[in-house]
């Protein structure tokens, strides 16, 4: 703010005193007008919006060594609405499945290999009970079609599937290996995707899917995850 020089202030006061009608009631009016224009008390600022609590599921995720975040896909905590809006391919059907499972919270991590040819996705769903988690798994699994299964030693009641299908891009195919299991009220889904030429010998990476399913099961059933 620029300040008035002292000499200018004295001159203005002297001129005002020399003018007729600047005493008595008019002087009171000037004082009153100055009071009306006084600065109003500062309005208290709104308290900062608290940050959303970090999901406990984030610390339970297992990812392949050397794989980095994939910016093409959502990674992080998801709610019913964010899952339906950004992840689900069949929102109406998945809404019914999640509501019937008493879905509470979820977390997804999407990682890509250093050569960016292979993508790994792990999703965790916390439901109302183990029975509801099993029903949710059955509902999700019925949406997919696989040509073969593969074994995952050490993980009880696991569902696995593998397939190679065209992607819709000319001369390109996609190989998928998926595993899904339930522990407590948690459903875990593991998916490995890789694309390549249709004419090539592209195969689902069931070896990686097996190793990660075993590690994820161990992580979810260990004492440190409780």
The per-residue DSSP string of 19-75 comes to STT-STHHHHHHHHHHHHTSPPPPPPPPPPPPPPPPPGGGGG----TT-EE-TTS--
Provide, rounded to the nearest whole percent, the portion of the chain with pLDDT above 90: 64
Question: For 74-199, where are the E strands, in sequence order?
Answer: 76-78, 105-112, 118-126, 159-166, 172-183, 186-197
Chain segment 128-179, per-residue pLDDT in tens = 999 999 999 999 999 999 999 999 999 999 999 999 998 889 999 999 999 9
Measured from the Cβ of residue 220, the count of other Cβ atoms closer than 10 Å reads 20
**Residues in a beta bridge with 137:** none
pLDDT of residue 98: 98
DSSP codes of every residue in 71-86: TTS--EEE-HHHHHHH
pLDDT band for position 223 (cuts 50, 70, 90): low
DSSP reduced 3-state for 211: helix
Q: pTM for this structure?
A: 0.74
- Compute the distance between CA of residue 31 and CA of residue 9 in angstroms, rounded to an integer: 17
- Compute the distance between CA of residue 62 and CA of residue 66 in angstroms, rounded to an integer: 12
Q: What tokens were used for 73?
A: 């896909």
């Amino acid at each position: 703010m620029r300040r008035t020089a002292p000499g200018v202030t004295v001159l203005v006061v002297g001129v005002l005193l020399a003018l007729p009608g600047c005493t008595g009631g008019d002087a009171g009016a000037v004082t009153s007008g100055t009071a009306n224009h006084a600065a109003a008390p500062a309005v208290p600022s709104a308290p900062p919006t608290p940050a959303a609590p970090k999901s406990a599921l984030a610390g339970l995720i297992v990812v392949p060594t050397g794989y980095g975040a994939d910016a093409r896909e959502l990674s992080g905590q998801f709610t019913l609405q964010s899952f339906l809006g950004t992840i689900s391919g069949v929102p109406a059907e998945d809404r019914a499945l999640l509501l019937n499972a008493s879905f509470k919270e979820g977390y997804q991590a999407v990682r890509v290999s250093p050569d960016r040819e292979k993508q790994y996705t792990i999703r965790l769903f916390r439901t109302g009970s183990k029975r509801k988690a099993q029903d949710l798994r059955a509902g999700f699994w019925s949406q997919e079609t696989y040509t073969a299964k593969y074994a995952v030693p050490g993980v009880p009641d696991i569902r696995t599937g593998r397939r190679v299908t065209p992607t819709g891009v000319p001369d390109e195919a996609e190989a998928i290996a998926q595993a899904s299991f339930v522990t407590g009220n948690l459903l875990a889904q593991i998916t490995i995707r890789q694309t390549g030429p249709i004419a090539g010998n592209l195969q689902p990476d069931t070896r990686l899917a097996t190793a990660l399913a075993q590690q994820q099961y161990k992580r979810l059933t260990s004492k440190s995850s409780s």
